[in-house]
Amino acid sequence: MNSEDRGDRSEGETDREPDLDGPVPEEVGELETVRGGWSRRAFLGASLGALPIVSFASVGLQAARLDAAAPPRVAPRTPASAALHEVPITLHLNGQERRLTVDSRASLLDALREQVGLAGTKKGCDHGQCGACTVLVDGRRVLSCLTLAAMASGHRVTTIEGLAQGDQLHPVQAAFLQHDAFQCGYCTPGQIVSAVGLLAEGCPSDPAAIRECMSGNLCRCGAYPNIVAAVQAARGSGGRPA
């Protein structure tokens, strides 16, 4: 290196590379201690001493994480707390009067299936998206999973079980059989009840209109063409509203 490369380096400085692996000169060690307030020996001693604290702290953190992942603790439901929500209702269900005591928060779907034992009305999504739970309330289609049982009190409720008269199927039920309008059959009670409802709603009879009127009823098996054909046939045969 020539003198230009050295720039304004002061006299006495050399190009010698520092020996990083060599012993630390005594004066430097003292300097470290004085500047930082810590010698390396003291720092290592303090760090090793703190290890148990660190590991206890990490155990505490793990426990806190596990605690957060655990299901929330809820107060157990006592008979007294359940009784607080009970309400008496009367359903005019499939032509019969039914008196029930239901939880005020219970859906009509759960009351029908769990309390009355009418399991023909299906629970698909339980979120108002599939139509499997369709029933008629005062002749109008409703999603029973989104309807409180208490709200149906005093009203006329018709489920799939209430459509046939004895051994005689409702014309829509007969048309579904005739047109093979189902595969697994899970959506079928909702489809049939919905079709019975639309007969009373003045839905036009062309296939596009029927598809639109039935659009709230989903069929994962894709039986839609046959469902539409069945609804058209039922309308033609004078399918009666429930």
Q: Which residues bind ligand FES (CB under 6 A)?
A: 123-126, 128-133, 143, 145, 182-188, 219-221, 223
Q: Which is closer to ligand FES, CB of 185 or CB of 207?
A: 185
Residues 6+ apart with CB under 8 A from 12: none
DSSP letters for 78-140: PHHHHHHTEEEEEEEETTEEEEEEEETT-BHHHIIIIII--TTS--SSSSSSS-TTEEEETTE
Q: Decide whether 192 or 234 has the Cβ nearer to ligand FES.
A: 192
Nearer to ligand FES, 94 or 144 (CB): 144
> Which of 162, 195, 159 lies closest to 177, judged by CA?
195
How far is residue 120's CA from residue 178's CA, in Å, rounded to a whole number?
20
Nearer to ligand FES, 155 or 182 (CB): 182
Least distance in angstroms from the C-beta of 216 to ligand FES: 8
**The two structure tokens encoding residue 96:** 């019969």
Closer CB to ligand FES, residue 43 or residue 186?
Answer: 186
Query: Nearest approach, Cβ of 211 to ligand FES (angstroms)?
Result: 15
In the complex, the smallest distance separating the C-beta of residue 144 from ligand FES, rounded to whole angstroms, is 7
Nearest distance from C-beta of residue 68 to ligand FES, angstroms = 32
DSSP 241: P
79 token code pair: 């008979």
- CA dist 88 and 90 (Å) reads 7
Q: What does the CA dihedral 141, 146, 149, 153 come to, rounded to 10 degrees?
A: -40
Tokens of 9: 């380096």
Q: Are strands 140-143 and 134-137 parallel, antiparallel or unpaired?
A: antiparallel
For the bound state, the minimum distance from the C-beta of residue 146 to ligand FES, rounded and expressed in Å, comes to 7
Residue closer to ligand FES by CB (options 63, 221) is: 221
CB of 184 to ligand FES, least distance (A): 3
